[in-house]
Amino acid sequence: MPAFTVQKRSRIGRARLGTLTTPHGTVHTPAYVIVATHAQVRTLSPHDLKKTGTRLVISNTYHLWNRAQKSYGVVRRRLGISMPTMTDSGGFQVFSLGAAHEHGVGKVLKRGHQRKMDRPKFSHVRITEKGVHFTVNGEKRFLSPESSIATQQRLGADIMFAFDECTSPLHPLNYTRTSLARTHRWAVRCLNAHTKKDQMLYGIIQGGRFKRLRAQSAKTIGAMDFEGFGIGGSFGKDEMRATLAAVIKHLPDNKPRHLLGIGTVTDIFDAVEAGVDTFDCVIPTREARHGKLYTDHGPVDIRKTKFATDTRRLLASNAIFGRLHRLFRTHNPKAGRLATMHNVRWFNLLLERIRAALADGSYHSFKRKFLTSFLRP
């Protein structure tokens, strides 16, 4: 049976070392979860993915819907490699295909952002108590708490998430409060629909940008019989730490916590210190495909001329920077593969170093030296 064990607690905030045991392997936490939207990490083969040291991936229930209806275990077959897997619930698409269109905003609200009035104000979703109706490119789909869980069970993930509504950072208090109450009712339905006990089910904490609602959600979801918890929804640019502080103190200490869709370098340190065990983000893969390469001295644009003769070695593939520069400049599809392998390996290595620093008590020193180098002007 899946299990989570806290191995060591740090003196740094609520940071902790743990092991997340699943039927397909053990994950040492804190850990970065690599996004494999269609049960594949874009540009990478199973062999490539293995070389990056990835131990946990998350796939998209909404986008794998049709495949799930045809057969069981789609995620692991498409990955082509046996490793622990997560699937989201489809709740983020309620936002991305709905309020994101209406409000012209992402899940993280930037400073000074206003509703983009020049955007068409339409939504591809209609939310009811029973569930959510999607209409995209003429295709209609209905997703409910029950069908989300059934789909995730068919996908074969080791860790699933309850179906929820991810609200917009521009939603007002009254709307967010109403949505949150519905999400809590949906959480009960998800628990009732969960029949495969070798798959862990996480409840999701919502509440938007309102700390009082976040705390309320943490208390309500935390009291339910979930095996772990996801912290989802929208954030303001400078609100993540305050949100985590408002949430995590109300969650059971012996269960894992996952931060959904957040994973910049500074976010990683903040999340770890707040007591988050895992987090996922598209940054390592998406930015790699556009030539942004992560190094300990900060990210670089490998497409710039100054890297044409750079002989430093890429992580995971051992190719040189100069070769990757030429591949990007000639639009060679191999460029995305090599850059993605490097970035994914770099983020996984960063978490390995964080775990080692927490284990031997050198975290403060490691963080100071690392961020001084990474964030240098």
Contact (CB, 8 A) for 29 and 256? yes
Kindly state whether residue 330 falls inside one of the protein's structural domains. Answer: no
Kindly state whether residue 309 falls inside one of the protein's structural domains. Answer: no
Cα gap 208→199, rounded to integer Å: 28
* Residue pLDDT, tens place only, 112-135: 555 444 455 677 888 999 999 888
Cα gap 178→295, rounded to integer Å: 44
Residue 118 confidence (pLDDT): 47
What angle in degrees, to the nearest 10, is found between the helix axes of 363-374 and 334-360?
A: 150
Cα gap 300→321, rounded to integer Å: 11
H or E segment to which residue 343 belongs:
helix 334-360
Q: Measuring CA to CA, which residue among 348, 22, 54 is closest to residue 201?
A: 22
Residue 92 confidence (pLDDT): 81
Residue 157 confidence (pLDDT): 94
Kindly state whether residue 353 falls inside one of the protein's structural domains. Answer: no
* Enclosing domain of residue 211: 3-281
Kindly state whether residue 341 falls inside one of the protein's structural domains. Answer: no
| CATH code of the domain containing 89 | 3.20.20.105
Kindly state whether residue 346 falls inside one of the protein's structural domains. Answer: no
Kindly state whether residue 180 falls inside one of the protein's structural domains. Answer: yes
Cα Rg for the chain, rounded, in angstroms?
20
Kindly state whether residue 207 falls inside one of the protein's structural domains. Answer: yes
Kindly state whether residue 264 falls inside one of the protein's structural domains. Answer: yes
Residue 12 confidence (pLDDT): 87
Residues labelled as active-site residues = 88, 280
Q: How many domains does the chain have?
A: 1
- Collect the ranges in the chain with pLDDT lower than 70: 1, 98-121, 234, 236-237
